[in-house]
Structure 1
Amino acid sequence: MAATKPQRSHTVLAWLPVAVMATVAVGDVLTGPGLGFLPLASLGPAFAGLVGGWRRTAVFGAAALLLCVALGLYDGLFQERRGFMAMVSVIGVTGAGIAAAVMRGRREAELANVRSIAEVAQRVLLRPVPLTAGPLQAAVSYTSAVAEARIGGDLYEVVASPHGVRVIVGDVQGKGLAAVETAAVVLGAFREAAHEEPDLVRLGERLERSVARVLEGEKFVTAILAEVGADHKAVFLNYGHPPPMVVHEDGTADFPRPPAYALPLGLGGYGDGSPRPFPVGFAPGEQLLLYTDGVSEARDDRGTFYPLGERAYLLKEADAQSALDSLREDVVRHAGGPPHDDAAMLLLRYHSHAPEESAAVG
């Protein structure tokens, strides 16, 4: 397998001190002491500090010092100050490189701790969704736009409640810890209300009250709620969120939109009334994809949005998670790299246990 770009870059940096010191040695021998190559030996330990720990820097510093002494004796530079000044230069750069390597090692350890905390926070905030919930199979994909982060402002959840399978996908305005805190409030309220509220509209009203208590000013959360029962329908409440994508058995895709969008969660006080639920047919063999705008608004280098509807065929794979992973990889290819916004996707597949049950009875 061919080496990746980061691996090639690391290899180049690892061999750079050796190449520099060899160039200094050859240049000094060929040109003599007149051009003053000797102080450049300090570049060896300087470049050694770019990768590896302080021990690597110290080893290259010792090698550079030996090289400096050898070339100084060869050129007869210790009869004057030039040879000693070159040695002092190597020792100084090596000491600075060792200090920098120690500090970098501490920062890397701190970053590893932060990553570990972020992973724990993700498991608490964005728990793995159940692989099956009622008549549905579920799979999720989440990518944070924040460098080195595992969590962000997008949220999702699937709850098998006494009132049907209830789902939420949302996008908190903003990024960082404040967005994560708001996402935690929304998910906590949804997980509780999904079991207690028999009506989807009342569930949404409860979320609105919870979000309004913690958000200040004109901050908000776009979200879409869905409820799937046993009547081959999915009922939606859309709070200013991108429309869901329904993929039919023949591979065609629809984006059902509500008669009127509700204001995002947190802005309900500026509107006039509750959102209206709207039903959409959702039968066995069909798929439902809920997503955030980090997917639908991903752009290529020409500014073209990701054509989600044209990529519905990627969801044909038998395994739901593999199908969703293929779609995520296609989004990354379209954008030419990591997303500039958090991107969450939740895939639901409607399946039926009727054939298995019939076989069991027979």
Structure 2
Amino acid sequence: MGKTNLGQRLAHPRQLWQPSHALVAIPLVLIAAITLADIRTPESVQLGPLLVVAPAITTAFGGYRLTGLIGALAVGTQVVTAELHGGLATTNHISQIIALTILSVFAMIVCFVRDRRTAELAQVRSVSEAAQRALLHPLPDRLGSLHIASSYLAAEKEACIGGDLYAVARTGDRTRVVVGDVRGKGLDAVGEAATLLGSFQEAAHHHATLPALAEALDRSVCRYLTGFPKADGEAQEHFITALLLEIPDHSPVSRVVHCGHPPPFLIRHDHVTPVTSPSPAPPLGMYGLRPATYDVHNFSFQAGDTLLLYTDGVVEARDSSRAFYPLEERVAQWTKNSPKTLVQRLEKDLLAHTGGALGDDAAILVIQRTPVPHTRLHVSPLTHGADLHDQPTD
């Protein structure tokens, strides 16, 4: 077994080589140069203290073991130099060796603490990514006649999850979509997002209409929010803006219910149009503000059309001059892009706009409708974004 492992390593020498290995030459060259210079100078000139630069530089690319090794080499070199310059008995040489040893040990401790924190951060990020995959299930590239792409950008650099959410569910011959944004940040927002996503995945299969689905989700969020303390009305400040979308497979008429969420954009023939609702409902979890019924807005979503859904972290992102991100203007430049390319362009452009630092979580979901095989959709004569009162609604 040992011979086999050795043979595999020798067969793949590139795997043994890492870029940081070349950097080890820097402290080694410094030690050699300083030592030679110190030997050639008179005894009155002491260059030994400069050896501390070797372990100090090693901390930038090496671990605590390598730093300790370089530090020990520097101390050993200092001892040799001291022997050549008057011997080890001199007070000056002894103090230099002690100081160099202490500083080398200190550098090694700094590396050890840094490596430990890096390992802990990597573990936390691993858990965070696993939690995100459990909370926000990766969406399929294809779902029926829909081509889907998505992106999630967390405001916290060390985090992968937050209060924004999206999910899709297949119910018979239609696809239902939810996009939401929890007010607030932190673990509370994650808990509320998990509650809504879990409720949607279950309720989407048990309610025939979007209004009934919206009512079920609102009840679920309200039940969850009752667990929050009500001092100074704190619980009343928690809510979730949401947008519910229903896309039938064999009809160009799609339906949407707005619950305080920014309207999506419909991309058709190089034109970008917001799909607004004349009577949007309050956000989910607003207790007594729940409407008697949730109004459904019908709009034409034909083969070749693209829908862009997003959270307010996108449109409220600011640049250095405090200007908001012009989402509609940017999208108008990329109307011919595929969903995946459009998401990638928006993600890159949004980060460039904000200088890489988002003030809030941002989620983007792009859905493009493709022709259904062996099925001819009934194309509505109405223009996109108009109410289709002559079509059946929920």
Q: Is residue 281–residue 291 contact of structure 2 (8 Å, CA) maintained in 1?
A: no
Task: Return the letter of the residue paired with 1:330.
Answer: D
Look up the match of 1:240.
Answer: 260
Q: Is residue 131–residue 138 contact of structure 1 (8 Å, CA) maintained in 2?
A: yes
The alignment partner of 1:94 has SS state of helix
RMSD over equivalenced CA pairs, Å: 2.9
User: Which has the greater radius of gyration?
Assistant: 2
Task: Return the letter of the residue paired with 2:176.
Answer: R
1:38-92, Cα deviation, whole Å (9 max, x unpaired): 3342232233223321221022102221332244345437342111111111212
1:106 aligns to 2:116 (yes or no): yes
Identity of aligned residues (%): 37
Q: Is residue 238–residue 261 contact of structure 1 (8 Å, CA) maintained in 2?
A: yes
Shift of 1:233: 2.2
Using the alignment, how far apart are the partners of 1:35 and 1:239 within structure 2?
78
Shift of 1:161: 1.0
Q: Is residue 222–residue 285 contact of structure 2 (8 Å, CA) maintained in 1?
A: yes
Shift of 1:113: 2.2
The alignment partner of 1:247 has SS state of strand
Look up the match of 1:291.
Answer: 310
1:94 to 94, 104, 107: 104
Using the alignment, how far apart are the partners of 2:289 and 2:42 within structure 1?
81
Using the alignment, how far apart are the partners of 2:317 and 2:364 within structure 1?
13
Q: 1:105 to 1:239 in 2, by over 3 A?
A: same
Map 1:165-184 onto structure 2 (within 5 A).
165-184=175-194
Using the alignment, how far apart are the partners of 1:124 and 1:279 within structure 2?
32
Q: 1:254 to 1:18 in 2, by over 3 A?
A: farther
Look up the match of 1:62.
Answer: 72
The alignment partner of 2:176 has SS state of strand
Q: Which moved more, 1:36-45 or 1:165-174?
A: 36-45
Look up the match of 2:15.
Answer: none
Map 1:112-131 onto structure 2 (within 5 A).
112-131=122-141
Task: Return the letter of the residue paired with 2:328.
Answer: G
Q: Is residue 221–residue 264 contact of structure 1 (8 Å, CA) maintained in 2?
A: yes
Using the alignment, how far apart are the partners of 2:62 and 2:257 within structure 1?
53
Look up the match of 2:168.
Answer: 158
1:85 to 92, 95, 107: 95
4+ long deviations beyond 6 Å: 10-16
Task: Return the letter of the residue paired with 2:78.
Answer: C
The alignment partner of 2:334 has SS state of helix
Look up the match of 1:341.
Answer: 360
Task: Return the letter of the residue paired with 1:244.
Answer: P
Q: Which moved more, 1:259-268 or 1:79-88?
A: 259-268
Q: Which moved more, 1:12-21 or 1:294-303?
A: 12-21
The alignment partner of 1:141 has SS state of strand
Task: Return the letter of the residue paired with 1:246.
Answer: L
1:280 to 281, 292, 299: 299
1:48 aligns to 2:58 (yes or no): yes
Using the alignment, how far apart are the partners of 2:223 and 2:44 within structure 1?
76
The alignment partner of 1:157 has SS state of strand
Q: 1:262 to 1:46 in 2, by over 3 A?
A: same
Q: Is residue 254–residue 299 contact of structure 2 (8 Å, CA) maintained in 1?
A: yes
The alignment partner of 1:269 has SS state of helix
Q: Which moved more, 1:155-164 or 1:17-26?
A: 17-26
Task: Return the letter of the residue paired with 1:181.
Answer: G
Q: 1:34 to 1:237 in 2, by over 3 A?
A: farther
The alignment partner of 1:44 has SS state of helix
Q: Which moved more, 1:236-245 or 1:12-21?
A: 12-21
Look up the match of 1:303.
Answer: 322
Q: Is residue 48–residue 56 contact of structure 1 (8 Å, CA) maintained in 2?
A: yes
Task: Return the letter of the residue paired with 2:283.
Answer: P
Shift of 1:353: 2.5
Look up the match of 1:5.
Answer: none
Look up the match of 1:3.
Answer: none
The alignment partner of 1:337 has SS state of coil
Look up the match of 1:231.
Answer: 251
Using the alignment, how far apart are the partners of 2:325 and 2:107 within structure 1?
46
Gaps of 5+ in 1: 1-7
Using the alignment, how far apart are the partners of 1:270 and 1:25 within structure 2?
79
Quick check: which one's helix share is greater? 1
* Number of residue-to-residue matches in the alignment: 347
